[in-house]
Amino acid sequence: WFLSATALAGLTVLGIKQFNFYTPAAGVRFLAIVRTVGRYGERLVTHQATLQILTQIRVWLWQKLQRLSISQVGKLRRGDVLNRLLTDIDTLDQLYLRILAPLVSYFLLSIFFALVIGYWNAQFAWTIGSGLLLIGLLLPVVGYLNAKQPAVAVIESNRQYRIGLLDLLTNQLELTMYGAISRYRAQVEHIEQRLYQAQLWLINRNALLQSGLIILHGVVLILALYLAGSGAIIGLISGPVFALIVFVIIAMMELLMPLSLSSQQLSACVLAASRINQLTEQQAQIEYGQVLEPAVTGNLNIVDGHFSYLDEQPVLQKLHLSISDKQKVALIGHSGCGKSTLLSLLTRQQNLQSGTILLDGRPIESYSEFALSQSITYIEQSAQIFSASLRGNLLIALADGETIDDQKLIKILQQVGLEKLLENCGLDLWIGDGGRLLSGGEKRRISIARALLRSAPLVLLDEPTEGLDPSTEKQILKLIFDVWKDKTILMVTHKTSVFSLIDELYTMDQGQLSQVKLAQGFNNC
């Protein structure tokens, strides 16, 4: 009306002088500024709130994962877990920004405009309001059904692609050595093509729905022109109200476009939420106790222990073992007989099906997670090296809040024969991905150096010198037994060189332990 009135006033000199266009123009400018500031504030608040919620969800999900045992986590694909932590949670940001916010805005504006029109004519307000609300209710359902299959296909293809790509990059050396890199790359490329096809499928469905909305927009506008025009002709509404109704319909139909697109995100959000729930609903198999004090002496007793994997043959059965304080014990046996499984039970990666493990006279289940971790030093068979600095790889052995000076770290590295790593960048040397690559022996010695920083009373060693040359092996064994002379040690080994350093020797066969004389141990190895 402002533009029309200004045009009419400009037809005459008197109209130009008498028409006040400053006040309406200022009002239009003011409302435009308010709209811009309001949109900016809305984006700022909603996006900040969404990011905070997603951060809390990630922390919550990570805490749920930490409660799972190592055996439970081992059943999950790394790429799949990464996809759920990143892609699935990122998908959930659509729930508020793209689904709830547009839907709530549409319904509130529909009710508001219906009330405004009802000021002049209740019948038209009821008809227009109910029609807008009906469209707002049906459109999300139609959009959800329209995009459900392609949206699910996109998420599933994205998950498979991330898993395949991560496996390809992680195992690239082995695949190249065995000549399987081309075949595996072709599989990943095939998954990538499926992802592109799913995305194209979703785009086509979006285009189909948008085309339908354009047609619906035209039909509704024509219907509004007919009904409101008829009402204006017979005097039910005035001309300005007729124009108001038409412009309200145009404005509300424009809100349907983001609403239709948001409804198509609903299926993706539902699938992402269900995949996250699959992780969070897993019950922790390992429950820790309430004892907060770590063990002091490292006395270890296993009474009638029994363990098997699922429904397989028992790995351990009627197992008995008693190790006194500061005693040094070695465990030998053929590969796969259950030696490493025994260590995993002592570190509570698994639970006995029956029997009891006592540490310092207490059931091992009674210790809290922190107390148990401070009671045991464990060197695994495969050394775990993180992509971090040399210092960082050593300091993870310390408890939270515990500190150590760099000179002690340097001394321990020198003791395990890794002084060459200190030549260039010192303890700041980056190792792992994107840094210096380590040999198997270097990884093994870093894990030993890490363990030497701890003072737990019970030390569990799983093939600690595997992959080391005889000279280095002798040096490391002497270091271990010198540093931990006041500790209780249980070592799994195939090396006869350790026999001169231990007090007792056990052999494992058919899930049971038998003590043997050290002289007989040479024959068993």
Domains of the chain plus CATH, in order, are 68-280 (1.20.1560.10), 300-524 (3.40.50.300)
Bigger pLDDT: 86 vs 208: 208
Stretch 254-281: mean pLDDT: 75
pLDDT tens for 339-384 read: 888 998 898 888 888 889 999 989 999 999 889 999 999 998 888 8
pLDDT confidence of residue 143: 80
pLDDT confidence of residue 136: 78
Q: Which two tokens stand for residue 520?
A: 């007989």
Tally of residues, the chain: 525
Q: Whose CA is closest to 487, among 270, 298, 237? A: 298
Q: How confident is the model at residue 449 (pLDDT cuts 50, 70, 90)?
A: very high
Alpha-helical regions (H) of 12-121 = 13-18, 22-67, 70-74, 78-83, 89-91, 93-94, 101-118
Taking the CB of residue 211, how many other CB atoms lie within 10 A of it? 10
pLDDT at 488 over 90: yes
Bigger pLDDT: 190 vs 122: 190
Show Cβ contacts of residue 265 under 8 Å, excluding neighbours closer than 6 positions: 91, 94, 95, 98, 99, 147, 151
Q: How confident is the model at residue 189 (pLDDT cuts 50, 70, 90)?
A: very high
pLDDT tens for 427-445 read: 899 988 778 888 888 888 9
pLDDT confidence of residue 122: 79
Q: Which two tokens stand for residue 187?
A: 């599989």
